[in-house]
Amino acid sequence: MRFSFLTLQRRAPWRSAALVAAALGLGACADFSGIAPQARMTDPKTLGLGIGAPTAGSATLTANPQWWTRFGDAQLNALVAQALQNSPTLKLAQARVDRALAFTDLSRSAELPAVNGALDATRQRFSANGVYPPPLAGNVFETANAQVSASYELDLFGKNRAALDAALGQARAAQADAQQAALLLAAQVTRGYVAVQRLYALQAVAQANVAQREEVLALTQARQKAGLDSTLELTSSEAGLPEIRQYIESLREQSALARNALAALTGQPLGLQDLKTVSLDTLQAIAPPQTIALDALANRPEIAAARARVEASLGEVEVAKALFYPNINLVAFAGLNSIGFDRISKAGSEQWGVGPAIRLPIFDAGRLRGQLKGKTAEVDIAMETYNALLIDAVREVADQIATLQSIRAQGVEQQAAQASAQTLYEIASQRFDAGLNNRTSVLGAQSAVLAQQRQAIELRARALDAQALLMRATAGTAAL
């Protein structure tokens, strides 16, 4: 085929240009009408959260990639840093980024000329009944060929550019996925750390409750021996201890499991036995914002990844459209060819060729339209995925802000209840010191104080957990 084309080119060079023009004319007949994406991307500005108008001094969301440091706990900072360094999940995400970037290099190479070199040396017997005349026919000769060839695809219809855009979109999506993995990991470590410290705090309160109940039991035993209390009262005092001790064992089990989970997140299974106990009150609270920057939500890693996949899908649609048009390559070669190794460097062994190579789909039984429909459907899927993520992001932030505001209101009431319980305990202690009531009344008042302490721990842990979830929902943005 090449030899016939070269002969044509040598006899009438203008015919090559005519072929190219004809191919372009046929390409103008490409029909992909009626195939277009149906979905539309949601504009983030159209989504309002209704948190309320900002007031003087109100907090707003501001970027902070190392948001966990705002809790002010060095032990937590070290755990998150270790998790980000050792996590197999993050290493897997980075490997996917590297793979996506490699695809962009591959796509970019299609926009440049390709040059290849070849050197062949063959000893062969030529058929006596073939196309070769004597003295080649029926004899053994050596053939040598040294050639450099070059080709360049004329991207007249943007196929290579669109393929590169699609590859770049996938690379951006992979990078955003890696950022999302890091964000989720940091949130998991923070929440796990809060869960462990909550269990430690509950154990301390439970131990104080055991000590209080043991003191009540001792007093009841003394009163029963003195005939002041009955066996029923003694049995009632004894019954409470096994229950609270079982509760402590349950807390210990939960603590061990929570430490194991935290250790796995940081890449050191069973390596957190020496985790230090810190008071939840020492973790600095992050105030819920009064306004939400929707542009910040739109740039959350998983939303950015979804947007990049929309762009990549649009690029793949353009590639599918370009396949309807002719594929035109400029091909050239130059080199040496001879019968006999010793003659390749002699005059007359030169050979060369140049010309266009054109490929045009004429009848494909609907294959190209089917392929374009599939790529267009992928655009719809990518767009609706983006829309769903954006709406869910707004909901998630609204949920966490509502939770934090409720916990803050509950905290006000709980503090008032704890203050009342503490006052009653102090009054009971003073009356006991004055001989106006017995020790059992004091211990009963102390039980109310311990119950309020447990409630304070639960609310504080919930607030910190909700703050970590808010940080995750806003991609590491929050208000101080």
Instruction: Write the CATH number for 316.
Output: 1.20.1600.10
- Token reading at 441: 């009344």
Q: Mark whether 247 and 339 lie in a shared domain.
A: no
441 and 430 in a single domain? The answer is yes
Question: Do 266 and 408 fall within a single domain?
Answer: yes
User: What is the total count of domains within the chain?
Assistant: 2
Do 335 and 278 reside in the same domain of the chain? Answer: no
Are 292 and 431 members of one domain? yes
| Residue 10 to residues 1, 4, 15, 355, Cα–Cα distance (Å) | 14, 10, 10, 11
**What's the pLDDT at 49?**
39
The answer to whether residues 147 and 231 belong to one domain is no
Indicate if 246 and 222 belong to the same structural domain: yes
Can you give the pLDDT at residue 239? Answer: 65
- Is there a single domain that holds both residue 352 and residue 436? no
How many residues make up the chain in this entry? 480
User: CA triplet 468, 469, 474: central angle to 5 degrees?
Assistant: 100
84 shares a domain with 3:
no
pLDDT at residue 113, as a whole number: 86
Query: In whole angstroms, what is the distance from residue 154 CA to residue 29 CA?
Result: 19
Contact predicate 290/130, CB 8 Å: no
| Local mean pLDDT, 10-residue blocks, the chain (480 residues) | 36 50 53 79 62 37 71 92 89 89 85 88 89 87 90 84 89 91 93 94 89 75 71 65 87 92 84 83 73 66 91 91 85 88 84 85 81 90 91 87 90 93 88 71 82 93 92 69
Q: Residue 8: its pLDDT value, please? A: 36
Tell me the pairing of strands 477-478 and 327-339.
Answer: unpaired
Residue 37 belongs to a domain: no
Residues 134 and 202 in one domain: no
Give 120's strand partners. 145
Same domain, 276 and 352: no
pLDDT of 50 reads: 38
Q: Which residue has the tokens 């006596």?
A: 128
Instruction: Give residue 385's domain range.
Output: 42-111+155-325+360-478
The CA R_g of the chain, rounded to the nearest whole Å, is 39
Is 340:144 a contact under the CB 8 Å cutoff?
yes
Residues 107 and 231 placed together within one structural domain of the fold: yes
Q: Is 243 exposed, middle or buried (0-12, 13-18, 19+ CB in 10 A)?
A: exposed
